Structure 1
Amino acid sequence: MNRSLLGHPLRLLLSGLMLTACGAPTDSELSPAEAPAPAEELGVKESASCTGSSVSGLAISGFSSWGGEAAGAGTWSVTYPANAVHLDFSIDGVVSGQAELQGDVNRAGNWNFSYKPVSCGVQHTFKVRAYPMTISSNGEKFWCPGSGPQERTWTFSEPCPTSTFSCSRSSNTHMTCTGTASGGTGGPYDALWYEYEQHDSGLVSNYGWYQGPLSKSFYCPLVLYPYLPATGTMSIYFVARDANGLQAAMQSRTFSCRF
């Protein structure tokens, strides 16, 4: 964000000229202990433009999340000489955006904010914090961080999609798993599949995550005779996702296979 926070105070030239005319020492003739301290730079420390400024009103009209994007709006107002506001927006304690807004004739205005991604299925806390500002006629901005900010909070959450899946043998060599999903922000839904094999010999086969449709076939040879031991197990992990990528809780199934 571009902040023009630095200003340059006027020196009291007339006063200096009067002192010189009367024989008083100039700034260059004063010892370091007697020399006046340099004026503070506006915008870095409190300036005269901040004196008496305050945030007189701050409100959140509403805040919610949909499709993994959080958004909301509200109002603000400040007192003279401030005519603008600096806003910090945070979600779960992390600053996620800022704004500098000039007010109307009543030194007030509206704000809005959006941010993504945010996770579903958990409660989040949104916070807006406001500081008074003064924006001069030439566009200079004086932020007043020490003038007593106000803040407001709002909790929100978004439901995740729900899902389930089942597997059945589609042949002597393959198991087919099919999932269903609903809720969240709606379909079309897809799935993340993960296959993990644990062989009796100690060999482990990890096939990683596969993104695809809600149905997938896996190689798992049938144990033909009950008295012949299986040679391993196959674990299938399933995660359904809605149209915006929000994920349902992960589920798993394990089967005996004769690898």
Structure 2
Amino acid sequence: MTPRFPAHPFRRVLLPALLLTACGGAPESEVAPAEELVGTRESAMCSGLSVTSLTLDGISTYEGELAGAGTYAVSTFANAVSLEFYVDGQTPSTTERLGSSGTWSYSRTGVACGPRNFEVRAYPMVVASDGTKTICRESYKSVTRIVTEPCPPTASISCTKLSTGVLRCTGSATGGSGSYMPQWQGYWDSYFYQEEYLFPWQQGSWISSSSCSPTTSTTFYDVVQMHFKVTDSNGLTSNTVSSPAYKCYPVH
């Protein structure tokens, strides 16, 4: 029977061995590099193996946590799967599942709001009885999905203490979705009366005014401060911003 040799790259390794054998040298099996044989065995083990099914049944983000799940199935002679998860193409996290079919799940915290590109890749695996694992990276299946968590609005505040004895603050917001609902909260601290009070949040207009008569006293005064935030049409609340703490003549 005429022997059949592997493809050309491996044939070049065996030719010197054939010459040595003809001259009484070592058999060809003793001169082939071990790494070539390992690679050949892995390629042979992975031949014809594939991921036959990969699904992404659900994926979402909430308050910075992205979570998803799905199913997989591999072809005959594969008995496990290796999974890689990418968010916006960043360095993936990996996991493995035993069995020719089954389910997978994934979660990650600290995901920024806005549109994120999620990808799951599945590679067929062979797990031997001694626990040795072979991942067949030549054949894989992937599923991608764009998942979005709305970003909350961003609030800002600007205040002026008028000579008429009025503290006037104007709020503004950007980002978010739809219209905004402005909300104000006042803070009052009397150094003279040794009392302080944080008023409840109240919905209002974009401008809020408070009494603040000028004073130059270093011991006889009140401290007045305004806090501001907005809620958008999605129900997302912005950051809370605060005015400077203004010294005002005490309220009697």
TM-score range, shorter chain: 0.5 to 0.7
What's the Cα RMSD here?
3.7
1:113 lines up with 2:106 in the alignment: yes
Q: Could you say which residue in structure 2 is the equivalent of 1:218?
A: 245
1:157 lines up with 2:148 in the alignment: yes
1:211-250 correspondence to structure 2 within 5 Å: 215-219=242-246
- Find the aligned partners of 2:92 and 2:46 in 1 and give their Cα distance: 26
- Find the aligned partners of 2:25 and 2:132 in 1 and give their Cα distance: 34
Q: 2:133 aligns with which of 141, 165, 183?
A: 141
1:57-68 correspondence to structure 2 within 5 Å: 57-68=53-64
- Find the aligned partners of 1:219 and 1:48 in 2 and give their Cα distance: 78
Q: How many residues align?
A: 169
1:49 lines up with 2:45 in the alignment: yes
- Find the aligned partners of 2:64 and 2:58 in 1 and give their Cα distance: 17
1:80 lines up with 2:76 in the alignment: yes
Percent identity over paired residues: 36
Do 1:58 and 1:152's aligned partners in 2 also have CA atoms closer than 8 Å? yes
Which residue identity does 1:218 align to in structure 2?
A
User: Would you tell me which structure has more helix in proportion to its own residues?
Assistant: 2
Which residue identity does 2:92 align to in structure 1?
S
Q: Could you say which residue in structure 2 is the equivalent of 1:125?
A: 117
SS of the aligned residue for 2:102 comes to strand
TM-score of the two chains, using structure 2 as the length reference: 0.56
Q: Could you say which residue in structure 1 is the equivalent of 2:8?
A: none
- Find the aligned partners of 2:109 and 2:40 in 1 and give their Cα distance: 32
Question: Taking structure 1 as reference, are residues 216 and 37 closer, same or farther at Cα in structure 2, changes over 3 Å only?
Answer: same
Cα shift at 1:118: 1.0
- Find the aligned partners of 2:81 and 2:235 in 1 and give their Cα distance: 35
- Find the aligned partners of 1:92 and 1:41 in 2 and give their Cα distance: 37
TM-score of the two chains, using structure 1 as the length reference: 0.54
Which residue identity does 2:32 align to in structure 1?
A
Cα shift at 1:60: 0.3
Structure 1 residues without counterparts, runs of 5 or longer: 1-23, 194-214, 222-259
Cα shift at 1:94: 0.8
SS of the aligned residue for 1:145 comes to coil
Structure 2 residues without counterparts, runs of 5 or longer: 1-19, 158-168, 170-208, 216-222
1:179 lines up with 2:206 in the alignment: no
Q: 1:38 aligns with which of 30, 33, 43?
A: 33
SS of the aligned residue for 1:123 comes to strand
- Find the aligned partners of 2:39 and 2:247 in 1 and give their Cα distance: 69
Which residue identity does 2:153 align to in structure 1?
T
Please give the per-residue CA displacement for 1:23-80, whole angstroms capped at 9, x wherever unaligned. Answer: x969x93399x96423436479834321211010011001000110101001111012
